[in-house]
Structure 1
Amino acid sequence: MSETTRHNYDVVVIGAGGAGLRAAIEARQQGRKTAIISKSLFGKAHTVMAEGGAAAALGNVNANDSWQVHFRDTIRGGKFMNNPRMAELHAKEAPERILELEYWGALFDRTRDGRISQRNFGGHEYPRLAHVGDRTGLELIRTLQQRVVQLQQADAAELGHPEAMLRVFAETTVTELLTDGSGRIAGAFGYVRETGEFCVFEAPAVILATGGIGKSFKVTSNSWEYTGDGHALALRAGAALINMEFVQFHPTGMVWPPSVKGILVTESVRGDGGVLRNSEGERFMFGYVPDVFRDQYAETEEEADGWYADPANHRRPPELLPRDEVARAINNEVKEGRGSPHGGVFLDVSTRMPAEEIMRRLPSMHHQFKELADVDITAGPMEVGPTCHYVMGGVEVDADTGAARVPGLFAAGEVAGGMHGSNRLGGNSLSDLLVFGRRCGIGAARYLDGLGGDRPRPSDADVARLAEEAAAPLRRDTGENPYQLHQELQQTMNDLVGIIRRGPEMEQALEALEKLRERVATVRAEGGTAYNPGWHLALDLRNMLAVSEAVARSALAREESRGGHTRDDFPAMSAQWRRTVLAASLRGGRVELDRRPLDTLRPDLLALFDRAELTKYLTEEELPPAEGADSASKEEK
């Protein structure tokens, strides 16, 4: 192993997706020397998989839209488990962040009068998703990367070097966060994937923007990078993870052919008129509309179809229910024997739009499945089913600044918890990245202002220890294959902590994870350090284990069904459980849970909902006074 290379920055951003780039841009604009660390190639962010659009109440297609309606939809989608301050900030600031992207050069689709076009998505009352065909995430990343280049060019002109204040370290993995003797963040330790060279990034502020945890599950839409790195880094640094039981299984991942299994079929397909049918040809979603949504969704095909032409006078199609509802419905159809030949259901947009229109509105979907699987979505249905897609849980952060409980640590995007409650609405992820990525950049800059000259420093002993730990799998003569261990981990989570959960099965999963922990501790990787994916996976396994334990323990503890968490043995929602946030921390190398109260909704935000709806979610003491109650009590007095 070569010597460890050292770098010195004010702010280190781990992750180069939408949240990471927006955070880095803001930190640089605040005058801070900033590093972006990307686990894979720069530009290959998971954000590009968010195809359908970014949710923001611009009101371009329906003038009735507002931040209040967006907030209400978000809280409804999250089943009232959202951090209310985060949901409020997101709804208020999303339009400004989208317009800022346009100012930086994003080429959104347009309405006939030239404004940013917006499309329908599940759980959103009005057409709200600003989009670029079905390549919205790609355009977001392209625009943010171009802004990074602009800032580097400005540095070159003013300071003589393009990387003086903002530098990207591609194909670099962080294995541990560094702290000083008092527990403050002092930087990050990692390695260059191409060579295995170790590197230290000394910095008093670290922003986690590492995305999700999907590679802990067997069937997932997530790419190889999503091994829960940021979640696990935060845990080991002393931060807490909240809401980890809430894992979103996107209802429409491809289940056939094998070459595309798990790959996402964007919600835009349903937003633009795609329908779900079972093996009997029945449009089955009408039978799965929950009572809490009954007045918002159509009861007949005629009414559902009429909504696309005249949404003001018809209720929404049930295919546009929130993702958790659609995923459970598909899962039940398959379980009851009405599934497609390969264990899913049929999603068909070909009977709703001509081929030319499909290729215009959904070009990536058409091209991707035609090239990879010889499936032509303009000519017939796709076989789809739930696929692990997104984790609502993440690092417990302050809503306004993105700060974690560890001084100097911040988190934004999927790695941060609270914003989406128990279930994320489609389209909210992209605007979430922008709103809270920016806020983290500002929060980190303000934190640095408070430090003055008292910058925390990592110890040489810690750096040497971390180098030894990272190299250990390569130096062992015996030990198990990391790929075999990964398959066992994925199978355990898929079978025992999947879309439908049961107490005894999750207890079994925790026992299996404990045995895997012992085996992972002695895992062996063959070969050297240069481009060695086996070694990389051996190091990632520790992160996936920690995150999987947090998910399983939280899911076992929450004895209700809500959003992305469905308990077969506790099928109802509980108003008491809604008030409880489960926070996972690492103590003595083990994940343990604490219970925290959920912040209450302010009276002005409660007033956005009908009292009848609130009674389905809130306890009696949380409900606003019934109409006439105040005047009656005054008369009594």
Structure 2
Amino acid sequence: MTATDVRSADGGETPDYEAVSVPVLVVGAGAAGARTAIALREQGVEPLVVGKRDHGDAHTVWAAGGINAALGSLDPEDDWAIHAADTLNEGHHLNDPEAVELVTKNMPERVRELDDWGADFDRTDDGKINQRYFGAQSFRRTVFNGDRTGEAVLEALVSKARELEIPYRENVMITRLLSDGGRVYGAAGYDMADGDFVQFTAEHVVLAAGGFSGVYSRHSSRDDENTGDGPALAFEAGADLMDVEFVQFHPTGMVQLDAYEEDWSGELVTEAVRGEGGRLFNAEGERFMERYSPDQMELDARDVVARAIAQEVREGRGTENGGVFLDISHREREFIEDRLPKMYERFQSLGIDMAEEPVEVAPTAHYTMGGVDVDVHTGETSVDRLHVVGETMAGVHGANRLGGNSLAETVAVGEVVGTHIGERMADEETTDLPNGVRALAEREFRALSDLETADGDTTPRELWAALREVMWEHAGILRDEETLQAGIDRIAEIRDRTGDLRVDGDRTSREFEFAVDLSFMLTMAETTLRAAKYRTESRGAHFREDHPDTDDDWRVNVLASRGDTGYDLFTRGVGAPSEAVREALDEGHELDYHHLE
């Protein structure tokens, strides 16, 4: 890695900036970015990882419930092909079958590797890695560390990265990729601590910057995460987006109560609560999932449970706060404290004893199945040398994600992509940087300087709130054409209002960060609304009240590209699974919920 200070080429109109040259730039420091970087280092390539937050502080830590791998610790009949079949069924067969098989085949090795690196997964009495039920899984397949699995996974990955001395720069925000539409050459951004501009040049760029569930007013991420940075950066650079209409609404987010001193609305109540036997009741005391899914009950697919809750609330059987009750008090206190320690402690701190009483929950935007269109074996996009991993990419999850597969995707695909890039670079010669790349970066720095001094009447926070409300109202759990079109129109109005933006702070301020994020959020909000309007059927997490049935003709992926006159939407057929997975599908494996009773 080399770094130099650069003065602007025109003698002062462009601010000075730091120029950094690296073999591979990894944008995003969660599990996907970390595992990719580890694979690169093991191939003899020294990447630079950049993240918006402190090292080890990434959205991965919020994945509480577990990570999937067909180990067969408790159910020896489970195997990778059944895991793949469950993933395809949950994804309503819009998944890329090759992507699914890559993940499910690799996960047993990845989980054992993480355990060796310090993830410290829970054990059975005979010393095997323990596994629990998760929604829509045929067997106990979800590996866990209590209800802090994501935190344990990231800690293990960060520890391994430090052991390998992988360079990392924290508190750096990437605002634009340096691309001519055919190839990427690096990225432009700024140091959020001191405000200095930075130009990164790289032979390859990996985006591992998360998804875009944060464009909704109720969401399970921290308020400044998953705002669409990754997919929007790739889209602006010339890559295609795919399946962005599929947004997973987790059934159990926290409902804000007057007793809470801070805003907990939408914060995740892990699926592990239901995986360990938690039951859902409406305000009338009915265990309502008996009506919607008598066989799988609370552990049916997330889209099924989320729609059931929404229907209960709509029909007047919800709580005063617009939710339902989740009750695990029939379990022993010691069991809850052992298997769900973080959930137990959180609600205890809020004056609610999960061992004695239910908690109030409602659906929350949780995960985005869609993202950047990639070749899963390489992570490559249509833009040469631009790779994507983790929630930023599409393909693995189809129309709905199987719980426990998000962490699995990050480490399985991250390892494969990092290895591929390393092997490719061994056969490549270092290329000269085209003259226009520096000009692209300097143009971005001038735009950021102008944004910093914007003095209109509208603040970024005001537009954030308006955009999020539009998405919740117009692209939520239940959709129709009229509502979606109205949402598109309102997003256009918000985009117009950015011309009157006011940023109350310099480049180190939160206001400036929000102003930058606003551009990403607008891109992903509009693309989601347009794709949801385009798909005239109901499938998985996408439910159209005006087209309530699943249509075999729509078993296609919807892709979005940046056209000359705006968004171009088109479809592509879905591949077929391998013979082994077809056999598993034909065998019809299914969770028997009543094992938990």
* Residues 1:459 and 2:472 aligned together: no
SS of match in other structure, 1:576: helix
**Counterpart in the other structure of 1:597:** 573
**Counterpart in the other structure of 1:147:** 160
**Contact 2:252–2:268 (CA<8 Å) still a contact in 1?**
yes
**Counterpart in the other structure of 1:618:** none
SS of match in other structure, 2:154: helix
Range moving further from structure 2, 424-433 or 361-370: 361-370
What one-letter code is carried by the residue in structure 1 that aligns with 2:90?
G
Structure 2 unaligned regions, length at least 5: 1-13, 590-597
What one-letter code is carried by the residue in structure 2 that aligns with 1:27?
L
Q: Per-residue CA shift, 1:472-517, capped at 9, x if unaligned?
A: 2222332421111111101111101111001011111111111211
How far 1:448 sits from its partner (Å)? 2.5
How far 1:439 sits from its partner (Å)? 1.4
How far 1:607 sits from its partner (Å)? 2.8
State how far apart, in whole Å, the 2-side matches of 1:242 and 1:425 are: 18
State how far apart, in whole Å, the 1-side matches of 2:118 and 2:463 are: 45
How far 1:350 sits from its partner (Å)? 1.0
Which of 303, 307, 318 matches 2:297?
318
**Counterpart in the other structure of 1:471:** 449
**Contact 1:2–1:197 (CA<8 Å) still a contact in 2?**
no
What one-letter code is carried by the residue in structure 1 that aligns with 2:324?
V
Normalising to structure 1: TM-score of the pair?
Answer: 0.87
SS of match in other structure, 1:253: strand
Aligned residues: 570
**Counterpart in the other structure of 1:346:** 325
What one-letter code is carried by the residue in structure 2 that aligns with 1:233?
L
State how far apart, in whole Å, the 1-side matches of 2:323 and 2:578 are: 42
What one-letter code is carried by the residue in structure 1 that aligns with 2:301?
P
**Counterpart in the other structure of 2:562:** 586
Q: Per-residue CA shift, 1:388-420, capped at 9, x if unaligned?
A: 000000110002111111101111111100100
**Counterpart in the other structure of 2:311:** 332
Which of 371, 374, 382 matches 1:394?
371
How far 1:86 sits from its partner (Å)? 0.5
**Contact 2:455–2:501 (CA<8 Å) still a contact in 1?**
no
How far 1:264 sits from its partner (Å)? 0.3
Which of 290, 293, 301 matches 1:286?
290
* Residues 1:564 and 2:541 aligned together: yes
**Counterpart in the other structure of 2:91:** 78
* Residues 1:435 and 2:448 aligned together: no
State how far apart, in whole Å, the 2-side matches of 1:483 and 1:570 are: 35
**Contact 1:473–1:522 (CA<8 Å) still a contact in 2?**
no
State how far apart, in whole Å, the 1-side matches of 2:497 and 2:106 are: 47
**Counterpart in the other structure of 2:522:** 545
SS of match in other structure, 1:26: helix
Which of 383, 386, 389 matches 1:412?
389
* Residues 1:44 and 2:57 aligned together: yes
* Residues 1:111 and 2:111 aligned together: no
How far 1:444 sits from its partner (Å)? 2.1
Q: Root-mean-square deviation (CA), in Å?
A: 1.6
**Contact 1:204–1:456 (CA<8 Å) still a contact in 2?**
no
SS of match in other structure, 2:584: coil
SS of match in other structure, 2:168: strand
State how far apart, in whole Å, the 2-side matches of 1:594 and 1:394 are: 15
How far 1:603 sits from its partner (Å)? 4.3
**Counterpart in the other structure of 1:240:** 240
State how far apart, in whole Å, the 1-side matches of 2:75 and 2:426 are: 43
**Counterpart in the other structure of 1:215:** 214
State how far apart, in whole Å, the 1-side matches of 2:403 and 2:588 are: 26
How far 1:32 sits from its partner (Å)? 1.1
**Counterpart in the other structure of 1:12:** 25
State how far apart, in whole Å, the 1-side matches of 2:424 and 2:380 are: 9
* Residues 1:199 and 2:198 aligned together: yes
State how far apart, in whole Å, the 2-side matches of 1:345 and 1:529 are: 43
How far 1:431 sits from its partner (Å)? 0.9
* Residues 1:536 and 2:513 aligned together: yes
**Counterpart in the other structure of 1:507:** 485
How far 1:590 sits from its partner (Å)? 2.6
SS of match in other structure, 1:451: coil
Q: Per-residue CA shift, 1:202-245, capped at 9, x if unaligned?
A: 10211111111122110000121211000100000000010000
How far 1:140 sits from its partner (Å)? 0.3
**Counterpart in the other structure of 2:353:** 376
**Counterpart in the other structure of 1:190:** 189
What one-letter code is carried by the residue in structure 1 that aligns with 2:453?
R
* Residues 1:269 and 2:273 aligned together: yes
Range moving further from structure 2, 595-604 or 561-570: 595-604
What one-letter code is carried by the residue in structure 1 that aligns with 2:522?
L
**Counterpart in the other structure of 2:334:** 356
Q: Per-residue CA shift, 1:153-196, capped at 9, x if unaligned?
A: xxxxxxxxxxxxx21111110000012x5731111111111111
What one-letter code is carried by the residue in structure 1 that aligns with 2:568?
E
What one-letter code is carried by the residue in structure 2 that aligns with 1:323?
R
**Counterpart in the other structure of 1:22:** 35
State how far apart, in whole Å, the 2-side matches of 1:53 and 1:432 are: 12
**Counterpart in the other structure of 1:491:** 469
Structure 1 unaligned regions, length at least 5: 153-165, 290-296, 299-316, 614-637
State how far apart, in whole Å, the 1-side matches of 2:514 and 2:585 are: 47
State how far apart, in whole Å, the 2-side matches of 1:349 and 1:535 are: 43
**Contact 2:66–2:144 (CA<8 Å) still a contact in 1?**
yes
Q: Per-residue CA shift, 1:425-451, capped at 9, x if unaligned?
A: 110111111001111212222343343
What one-letter code is carried by the residue in structure 2 that aligns with 1:533?
R
Alignment CA distance shift 1:279-1:95 (3 Å): same
SS of match in other structure, 1:592: strand
SS of match in other structure, 1:376: coil
What one-letter code is carried by the residue in structure 1 that aligns with 2:132?
R
Normalising to structure 2: TM-score of the pair?
Answer: 0.93
**Contact 1:583–1:593 (CA<8 Å) still a contact in 2?**
yes
State how far apart, in whole Å, the 1-side matches of 2:502 and 2:303 are: 39
SS of match in other structure, 1:108: coil
State how far apart, in whole Å, the 2-side matches of 1:535 and 1:485 are: 13
State how far apart, in whole Å, the 2-side matches of 1:429 and 1:467 are: 35
**Counterpart in the other structure of 1:68:** 81
State how far apart, in whole Å, the 2-side matches of 1:250 and 1:11 are: 35
Q: Per-residue CA shift, 1:88-122, capped at 9, x if unaligned?
A: 11111111100111122221110111011011100
State how far apart, in whole Å, the 1-side matches of 2:334 and 2:564 are: 60
**Contact 2:88–2:100 (CA<8 Å) still a contact in 1?**
yes
**Contact 1:93–1:435 (CA<8 Å) still a contact in 2?**
yes
Range moving further from structure 2, 138-147 or 441-450: 441-450
**Contact 2:28–2:51 (CA<8 Å) still a contact in 1?**
yes
Alignment CA distance shift 1:49-1:424 (3 Å): same
State how far apart, in whole Å, the 2-side matches of 1:143 and 1:520 are: 41
**Contact 2:81–2:580 (CA<8 Å) still a contact in 1?**
no
What one-letter code is carried by the residue in structure 1 that aligns with 2:138?
E
Identical-residue share of aligned pairs (%): 39
How far 1:364 sits from its partner (Å)? 0.4
